[in-house]
Amino acid sequence: MLVRQATSRVAISLGTAILLACGNAGIAVAQQAPPSPSAEPSTSSLPIDVLQSKRDQTRAELEALSKTMSVSTDAARSIEAAIADLDKTSASLRQALIDAATRRKDYEAKVQTSEKKLTDLKIKQETIRASLRERRSVLAEVLGALERMGRNPPPALLVSPEDALGSVRSAILLGAVVPGMRVQAEKLMADLQGLADVQRDVADERGKASAAIQAGLEEDRRIALLLEENAKQNAVKSASLAEERRKAQELAGKATNLEGLIQSLESEISSVRLAMERAKREEERQKQLTAEERERARQLAENGVPDKNRIAPAYPFASLKVKLAYPVEGDLLRSFGDPDGTGHPARGLTLASSAGAVVTAPADGTVVFAGAFRSYGQMIILNAGEGYHLVMTGMDKVNVQPGMFVFSGEPIATMGEKRVASATALALETDRPTLYIEFRKDGNPIDSKPWWAVKETGRARNDS
């Protein structure tokens, strides 16, 4: 009698463990035979909006995690020491900024990859748990068989799918399961094994995401310190820059469209005008190069070794097709020509990023404008030469000033926490920060797709 009572208690413990693994102990036992768990749970069977919602939930969890993390004292000291050891020339500081921004975007890409993997794993987890709930009738048979057997009970303490799996396996090996139930019991074991595997994968992926978030925070600190150092180097120009910022904002208030703004800035802001004149002279000089010099420049371009002290784009913008990286790590939400929410085709593309993501210059160029403009929010306009202008809006903070010449990959802005309400973000079904990018040639919007080196991947799709 005592053995039978002990076995009954063990059976109850087993049932509790499996039901906890299922995530919901209050669902009634399914009377029909459950579907086979052999089919791998797939995100392709989910509607796009449901999949996107689940990814948004995972992203919110990771963003909440990032808010609990900070740069350690040791890491901060190491970063400060590395910057102190830098040669404080403008070229060295800018190269350090480019390198830090590149690493920051790499870590951001890793977090976004983990985000998608975690979402897929959670969907698999939910599918397996649903199958386990449907197999509770099999569980009842296993428990009854163990109780009738009254000997060699499994361990009484069951707190994980692995424990439950071991107990069901023991029941089969001990012959406690009748032959007619053996197939279903083995399927139950397969579900439990699958759940244990998925939970282990979730823990591993969370660890990877956490490490990438931590590394990204450290690069944020490095970029902030480098920007401070760079500002010190340019302190002598601060008074004149402040006056030109004021004049640029005044022109922005008068301009009715982007074309008019760009024209007025390039003709009336002295630092921009002088920078454009220097760049124009450099372009003319490059056109006068001998065939040998042009060949040497071409080889340097192929090897990605431009002059670190350049004041004009290293390469003609038209020659950079399939070479540019997106300014921010993120998902493509809207392409050139797509409906823009106002009944017109979009004149640029829109990327959804993570909160606080770094924004880099997609190509060399002179900053024509940096600040707020009408309904566009914070905006940066780069003159990339040859009549090309690159317009970016949707950022929270900008790090550049009109008249500055920036290098490809240099950090120029930071995204905010949420999407900025602006004319370029209408009808977007997301609260994520969004960056709008528009390429212009001789004042007219053009499709930027030929220039991007990245594969354009959009929001959650059925084939993801």
Is the residue at 459 inside a domain?
Answer: no
pLDDT at position 258 is: 72
Q: Rounded CA gap, 144 and 150, in Å? A: 10
pLDDT at position 1 is: 46
Are 280 and 191 contained in the same domain? no
pLDDT at position 25 is: 36
Is the residue at 189 inside a domain?
Answer: yes
Is the residue at 129 inside a domain?
Answer: yes
Are 156 and 294 contained in the same domain? no
Q: Compute φ and ψ for 393, nearest 5 degrees.
A: -135, 160
pLDDT at position 103 is: 96
Q: Rounded CA gap, 437 and 384, in Å? A: 14
DSSP 67-78: HT----HHHHHH
Burial class (CB in 10 A: 0-12, 13-18, 19+), 429: exposed
Q: Compute φ and ψ for 230, nearest 5 degrees.
A: -65, -40
* Residue whose token pair is 């940066």: 380
CB 33 within 8 Å of CB 188: no
Q: Which candidate, 386, 383, 368, 403, places its Cα nearest to that of 283?
A: 386
Are 262 and 229 contained in the same domain? no
Q: Give the end of a domain, one of 205, 233, 261.
A: 233
pLDDT at position 374 is: 74
Are 277 and 228 contained in the same domain? no
Q: Compute φ and ψ for 344, nearest 5 degrees.
A: -125, 160
Around Cβ 47, how many Cβ atoms within 10 Å?
Answer: 10
- Domain containing residue 91: 2-233
Are 241 and 155 contained in the same domain? no
Is the residue at 460 inside a domain?
Answer: no
pLDDT at position 380 is: 95
Is the residue at 462 inside a domain?
Answer: no
Q: What secondary structure letter does DSSP report for 316?
A: -
* Residue whose token pair is 């979730």: 202
Per-residue pLDDT in tens (0 to 9) along the chain, 464 residues: 444 444 444 444 445 445 544 554 333 333 333 444 444 545 556 677 778 788 888 988 988 888 899 888 888 899 889 888 887 777 888 899 999 999 999 999 999 999 999 999 999 988 888 887 877 776 666 666 656 655 444 443 344 566 566 666 666 655 555 566 667 777 777 888 888 899 999 999 999 999 999 999 999 999 999 998 888 776 655 555 666 666 676 767 666 677 777 776 666 655 566 666 666 666 666 666 666 766 666 566 556 556 666 767 878 898 899 999 999 999 999 999 998 777 889 999 999 999 999 999 999 998 988 988 877 778 999 999 888 999 999 999 999 988 888 999 999 999 988 766 655 555 566 778 999 999 999 889 999 999 999 765 444 433 33
* Residue whose token pair is 């404080």: 88
DSSP 221-247: HHHHHHHHHHHHHTGGGHHHHHHHHHH
Are 418 and 444 contained in the same domain? yes
Report helix, strand and coil shares of the chain as percent, to nearest 5.
Answer: 55, 15, 30
Are 176 and 261 contained in the same domain? no
* The pair of three-digit structure tokens given for residue 276, joined into one six-digit string: 């454009």
pLDDT at position 88 is: 74
Are 331 and 192 contained in the same domain? no
* Residue whose token pair is 């306009």: 381
Is the residue at 464 inside a domain?
Answer: no
Is the residue at 74 inside a domain?
Answer: yes
Q: Which candidate, 48, 3, 28, places its Cα nearest to that of 150?
A: 3
Q: Compute φ and ψ for 411, nearest 5 degrees.
A: -70, 125
CB 350 within 8 Å of CB 434: yes
Are 247 and 104 contained in the same domain? no
Is the residue at 181 inside a domain?
Answer: yes
Q: Give the end of a domain, one of 233, 263, 292.
A: 233
- CATH number, domain containing residue 359: 2.70.70.10
Are 170 and 241 contained in the same domain? no
Q: Compute φ and ψ for 439, nearest 5 degrees.
A: -100, 140
Are 245 and 133 contained in the same domain? no
Q: On the CB side of 273, how many CA atoms lie within 13 Å of its CA?
A: 9
Look at the chain and report how many structural domains it folds into: 2
CA distances from 194 to 128, 129, 170, 317 (A): 7, 10, 18, 52
pLDDT at position 438 is: 95
Instruction: Order the strands of the 397-398 sheet from edge to edge.
Output: 358-360, 411-414, 397-398
Are 214 and 274 contained in the same domain? no
Q: Give the end of a domain, one of 201, 233, 265.
A: 233
pTM: 0.75
Q: Residues of 64-73 as b/e, b for ≥16 C-beta within 10 angstroms?
A: eebeeeebee
